[in-house]
């Protein structure tokens, strides 16, 4: 049996390394050192090394022979395929959530909507988003909103699909890491509006509207992110 302290150390290392990678402080294609990560996070090397192995298995990072470990970069085709899958899974999840969401889940959606709406009202939002911790908070709220809906769908396969670190890393890397903060700031208010409309449909137990609104939200996000990716490729 694994000692409780060892197990907790591994879990903490995984959580902290994953949070760091998704928070914008590491760029796609950047080399990772378990020694540096351990020092920066105040953790021992062994659990950090194991966390990197787990994240590699999930697709968030990649090992390059004779080179090291890197935060994985994303191809245009892979990103397009990801959004195709999200267009299948998330409208379905929203439809089910409109019938099955618990009061606590509806409240979590409400809280996430309120906070994103408040962020959208901030003066000098682009400057505020220059801080990694602020981009991380915006990312966390977006992930929390979508993952709560998937949890409310009571479909474990759909939920695992979204919670896979590869999926989250792709969404966050292109929405938050490779986007200029001025461009990102312009997205916050529309995102807040879309999330609010989806939340209201779920709260009113309107599965048809919830599915339709989620499909429009994911479809619009797909077009924007893929355009940024294509524009980057032309430079």
- With respect to CATH, is domain 76-234 assigned 1.20.120.530? yes
Residue-level pLDDT at 9:
72
Domain segments of the chain as ranges: 4-71, 76-234
pLDDT tens sequence across 94-110 = 999 999 999 999 999 99
Asked whether the beta carbons of 187 and 139 are under 8 A apart, the reply is no
Instruction: Please name the residue ranges forming H helices in 23-100.
Output: 34-41, 45-58, 76-100
Query: At how many degrees (to 10) do helices 156-163 and 165-172 cross?
Result: 50
Its pTM stands at 0.81
Class of domain 4-71: mainly alpha
pLDDT tens sequence across 83-142 = 888 999 999 999 999 999 999 999 999 999 999 999 999 999 999 998 878 887 888 899
Q: Specify the higher pLDDT residue, 210 or 26.
A: 210
Residue-level pLDDT at 4:
38
pLDDT tens sequence across 52-70 = 988 888 878 888 988 888 8
């Amino acid at each position: 049996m694994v000692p409780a302290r060892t197990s907790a150390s591994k879990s903490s290392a995984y959580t902290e390394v994953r949070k760091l990678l998704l928070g914008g402080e590491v760029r796609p294609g950047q080399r990772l050192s378990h020694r540096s990560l351990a020092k920066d996070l105040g953790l021992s090397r062994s659990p950090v090394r194991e966390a990197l192995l787990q994240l590699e298995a999930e697709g968030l990072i990649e090992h390059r022979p004779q080179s090291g470990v890197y935060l994985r970069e994303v191809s245009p085709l892979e990103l397009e395929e990801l959004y195709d899958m999200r267009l299948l899974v998330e409208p379905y999840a929203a439809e089910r959530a409109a019938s099955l969401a618990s009061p606590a889940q509806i409240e979590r959606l409400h809280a996430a909507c309120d906070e994103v709406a408040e962020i959208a009202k901030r003066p000098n939002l682009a400057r505020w988003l220059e801080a990694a911790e602020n981009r991380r908070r915006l990312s966390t709220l977006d992930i929390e909103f979508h993952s709560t809906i998937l949890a409310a769908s009571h479909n474990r396969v759909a939920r695992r699909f979204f919670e896979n670190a590869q999926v989250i890393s792709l969404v966050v890397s292109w929405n938050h890491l490779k986007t200029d903060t001025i461009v990102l700031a312009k997205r916050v208010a529309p995102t807040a509006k879309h999330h609010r409309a989806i939340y209201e449909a779920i709260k009113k137990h309107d599965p048809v509207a919830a599915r339709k609104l989620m499909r429009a939200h994911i479809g619009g996000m797909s077009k924007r992110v893929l355009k940024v990716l294509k524009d980057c490729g032309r430079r």
